[in-house]
Amino acid sequence: MVGILVILGLGAWGIIQVIRETTNSALTPISQGSDSLRTQVAEFLHPSPTVIPDPITVVQEVRPLARLETIQFTVEKVITAETDQGLFGALFGDRLLFVAHGTVIAGVDMGKIRTEDISIQDGVLAMTLPPAEVFVSTLDNSKSYVYDRQTGVLTHGDTNLETTARRAAETEILKTAMEDGLLNQAQQNAENYLTQFLRALGYERVVFRTGTPVPGQAPPLLTSTPTP
């Protein structure tokens, strides 16, 4: 009797396993089809942008550069841009917060140095450097983003508002760098670098001058590097 019960139990267990495997094999295509359908719906609702560059490229200008970049400022700025924030702001207003991440690079354009800007006398090399200037001031689009945007219930928002925020961010980033003494530090860094470079060439003392040289008259001294 016990043996019969065991055999019946094993048989029932085998039948259950067969039914389970058959059910799983039947449901697997349905599950895969459901996942595929969800993917297609997501791609339809949020399609990937297509970028088609024009095959024709026009080179506007090519010119040589001799810029000595001596400092780089990295600035992060939060910009608020808004329109129609008056009495009916909840209906027609548009407001966004833009987190701007930008870079400002400055230095000295060595291409502006003329022959008369350099003189050597009694082992002293005197040089008149051009004033430091900003070479690059730009936003880093990979790190800049719209943090928040709120539009009124009766408007789709100003299509140019983000562009306005980006332009304001570029201005503010450059302004911040200039207020922090960007050009003064760029000028000093240029003099320090050139001092080391010229010393390596054998000049024991290097003097930097300011102002435009007048023929027959040496400009006033700006900074000097004494012999170590």
Average pLDDT value over all residues in the chain: 76
For 136-169, the three-class secondary structure string (H helix, E strand, C coil) is: EEEECCCCCEEEEEEECCCCCCCCCHHHHHHHHH
- Asked if the model's pLDDT at residue 105 lies above 70, the reply is yes
Q: How far is residue 73's CA from residue 101's CA, in Å, rounded to a whole number?
A: 11
User: What number is the average pLDDT over the span 87-107?
Assistant: 83
- Check whether 152 has a pLDDT greater than 50: yes
Residue 62's alpha-carbon distances to 108, 115, 134, 206, in angstroms, are 20, 25, 20, 34
pLDDT at 82 over 50: yes
pLDDT of residue 223: 41
pTM > 0.85: no
The strand pairing partners of 139, in sequence order, are: 102
Q: List the chain domain ranges.
A: 1-36, 67-225
Of residues 139, 81, 70, the one with CA closest to residue 109: 70
**Dist CA 158 CA 83 (whole Å):** 8
**Residue 100: pLDDT band with limits 50, 70, 90:** very high
pLDDT by residue (tens digit) across 155-197? 676 788 888 999 999 999 999 999 999 999 999 999 999 999 9
Higher pLDDT: 112 or 11? It is 112
Place 81 in a pLDDT band, splitting at 50, 70 and 90.
Answer: confident
More confident residue, 175 or 85: 175
Task: Sort 195 into a burial class: Cβ within 10 Å, 0-12 / 13-18 / 19+.
Answer: buried
Q: What is the mean pLDDT of residues 99-107?
A: 95
> Could you tell me which residue, 109 or 13, shows the higher pLDDT?
109
* Range 46-62 average pLDDT: 77
* Cα 95 to Cα 83: distance, rounded to the nearest angstrom: 6
- Give the mean pLDDT of 46-69: 79
pLDDT at position 182 is: 94
Q: Which of 98-102, 105-109, 121-125, 133-137 has the weakest average pLDDT? A: 121-125
The string of pLDDT tens digits covering residues 112-140 is 999 999 998 888 899 999 999 999 999 99
pLDDT digits (tens, 9 = 90+) for 68-77: 999 999 999 9
Spell out a b/e string for 133-165, using b for 16 or more CB atoms within 10 Å of the CB, else e: ebbebebeeeebeeeeeebbeeeebbeebbebb
- pLDDT for residue 21: 61
